[in-house]
Homo-oligomer: A and B are copies of this chain.
């Protein structure tokens, strides 16, 4: 174990922050609108234990903190580790996050958070340094740490679940934007999207066609017994599953993939990133990825971006949170030394 400095502040002679890094364990947490997942990992990123619970109907931030603490207790018990073995926690939250201040500025109406000091709440409850970021950004960190974007310093992670969002990594750093909203591409305007102004909390122009809920809506708007033998009530992935055999499902896939290809084309024009990673429950569907790539190849772009599926899938957020927690352990003083 590396010797800790006697007092809390490192002396100027000891500026290499990693030299202060104690081997130990970290916690990664993925706070979702319906599920909370917590994992304990060593500082090589190997996951030692996992815990999850439902967050359906839970809007209170202190209640979410209680659940995380409960999960950590369970993980410590599972691994027979003492609490003192934990050196940091990081959490992804489904909203706009001020990373510097550690505040969740806003989440979707599901949780309804406004200006929640999540980092301070975590540190107060757990007594270890905490970091937080937007869940899509955290997933991008995950793909960079252990997924398809390892060793790629410039890429865009596009999460397609119910809605659509992006995590933008430039020069190996997340681009957060001036008001922490960079990557809010669910509202992007491309040919075929509605031009109408969108009320906050309502699906954006792009995600109304490309997101999971949007795909369901497009399907239902077009559905009739003449158009398809499939039922009207299907999930987005069920619709995509049928795209090879059902003409209506094929139409909806083509619409979503063409619209997504326009968004990726625009992002590529603006950022000139070599890699786009499709993630999220809908984004990792092979049919959507393949059709999107076909539309992109049809364009005569000077620079043809590479589009790949996430290799971490639903693990991206959790692994990203672990990576962020390891970084936090390496660069921040333990709470007791502050």
Contact = CB atoms under 8 A, between A and B. Distances in A.
Q: How many identical chains are in the complex?
A: 2
Given A271-B177, A272-B178, A274-B178, A197 B266 contact: no
Contacts of A301: 187
Given A170-B170, A189-B191, A272 B180 contact: yes
Given A168-B270, A170-B170, A189 B190 contact: yes
Nearest to A270: B270
Nearest to A274: B178
A256 to B, nearest CB: 15
Contacts of A195: 191-192, 262
A22 interface: no
B271 A175 contact: yes
B303 A270 contact: no
B184 A269 contact: yes
Interface string A179-205: 111111101111111010111100000
Contact of A273 (B178, B192, B265): B178
Contacts of A303: 177-179, 181
Contacts of A168: 270
Interface string A68-89: 0000000000000000000000
B262 A185 contact: no
Contacts of A271: 175, 177, 182, 270
A213 interface: no
A177 B301 CA distance: 15
A321 to B, nearest CB: 22
Contacts of A200: 300, 302
Contacts of A182: 270-272
A154 B177 CA distance: 8
A99 interface: no
With most chain B CB atoms within 10 A of its CB, the pick from A168, A197, A267, A271 is A271
Interface string A152-182: 0010000000000010101000011111111
B183 A262 contact: no
A114 interface: no
B190 A270 contact: no
A197 B302 contact: no
B299 A188 contact: no
A301 B26 CA distance: 38
Given A177-B273, A189-B191, A272-B176, A197 B267 contact: no
Interface string A298-318: 111111000000000000000
Given A189-B190, A266-B266, A177 B272 contact: yes
Nearest to A175: B170
11 contacts: A170-B170, A177-B273, A179-B272, A182-B272, A183-B272, A187-B301, A189-B190, A189-B191, A190-B190, A197-B300, A267-B270
Given A177-B271, A182-B270, A183-B270, 6 more contacts: A154-B177, A181-B269, A189-B191, A191-B193, A200-B302, A270-B270
